Amino acid sequence: MPRIVRPAAYGTPDVLTVVEVPAPHPAPDGVVVEVRAAGVNPIDWKLYSGDFHAVDDDLKDSAGITASLPSLGLECAGVVTAVGADVTGVRVGDEVIVYPVTAAYADYVTAPATSVLAKPTGLGWAEAGSLMLTGTTAFHALHAAGVAAGDTVLVHGGAGGVGLMGVQLAAAAGATVIATASERNHALLRELGATPVVYGPGLGDRVRAAAPRGVDAAVDFAGTDEALDVSLELVADRTRIASITGSPRRAAAGIKLLGYGPGQDPGTEIRNAARAHLVERAASGALRVVVDTTFPLTEAAKAHEVGIAGHAPGKLVLIP
């Protein structure tokens, strides 16, 4: 039977279970994809941590799982195994990237055909399965902060999944990129076109030294008070500071708030439009998907523990 990874309760990664489920069928406008790689993202563990929702629903579904618990896996790549009656342009056997999608921590996933993009042949499964969520988010953030050729942009959290995408996309757009990261990730960031600086006390001075002509825009992928404070200190125009993490201080600061929470801009159109651009750049080798570690599906909990520890340079990926 096909497997799916689901949380059995709200909590820490040890609540994750592998459940057997019937093989799915496509909706008339949808497809079924055999998953070859599913990207792991912080949203995955945040969803069942209980941080986002009051945990007060103990209804069980047919698998004995609390009904209100989220499914996991918001991006993947794989091979199309079934196509709905109304679908054109996608065929059984096609190698595809699927985004947006839900419940991709699984052997098989269903998705609307509009979520399917052809996987470039030269792109590995792990890279293809973990390109989209971080790539579209970084693209949206740079767009919101108005980053263009000639700008100097500060990227907070440059060595994370979103950060590594943001650094490359900003450099490709012709911006000068200053990126914050631990020392051990500096060589990688230099390779990708950024000037790295260590985060922590004194960050503002280090960025000033690295950007003597000043900083035009900042994208916050770190979510720390420091990232907000240094951005406000160095960027004169607050509409050119974009954050993908929420906090009451960020909401009060007059900066751009991006995402799916209250008061945040989901950027649906710009993120959708970014997908083809990202695939094209990844196919040509102009955009590198840095995969840190792959895990079998049964080790999703271990992948989440590594992610929660917070210092993986690049993507964690599940391989069913």
- Interface with ligand NAP by CB under 6 A: which range of 94-102, 105-113, 160-168, 276-284? 160-168
Distance (Å, rounded) from C-alpha 109 to C-alpha 193?
36
Let me know how long the chain is.
320
Contact call for residue 103 and ligand NAP (CB under 6 A): no
The single residue among 47, 241, 258, 278 that binds ligand NAP, judged by CB under 6 A, is 258
DSSP-derived secondary structure for 178-242: EEE--GGGHHHHHHTTEEEE--STTHHHHHHHH-TT---EEEE-S--HHHHHHHHHH-S-GGGEE
Do 238 and 219 touch, CB atoms closer than 8 A? no
Point out which span in 3-11, 73-81, 119-127, 133-141 binds ligand NAP (CB under 6 A). 133-141
Q: Which of 6, 119, 143, 156 binds ligand NAP (CB under 6 A)?
A: 156
Of the candidate spans 64-72, 98-106, 121-129, 132-140, the one that interacts with ligand NAP by CB under 6 A turns out to be 132-140
The conformation of residue 287, written as its DSSP 8-state character, comes to S
> What sign does the dihedral 139-320-116-69 (CA atoms) show?
negative
Distance, CA of 29 to CA of 41 (rounded, Å): 27
Report 213-242 residues binding ligand NAP (CB under 6 A).
221-224
Residue 227 or 297 with smaller CB distance to ligand NAP: 227
For ligand NAP, the binding residue among 114, 182, 268, 284 (CB under 6 A) is 182
Residue 42 in contact with ligand NAP, rule: CB under 6 A: yes
The contact set with ligand NAP (CB under 6 A) reads 41-43, 133-134, 137, 156-157, 159-163, 180-182, 185, 199, 221-224, 244-245, 258-259, 307, 310-313
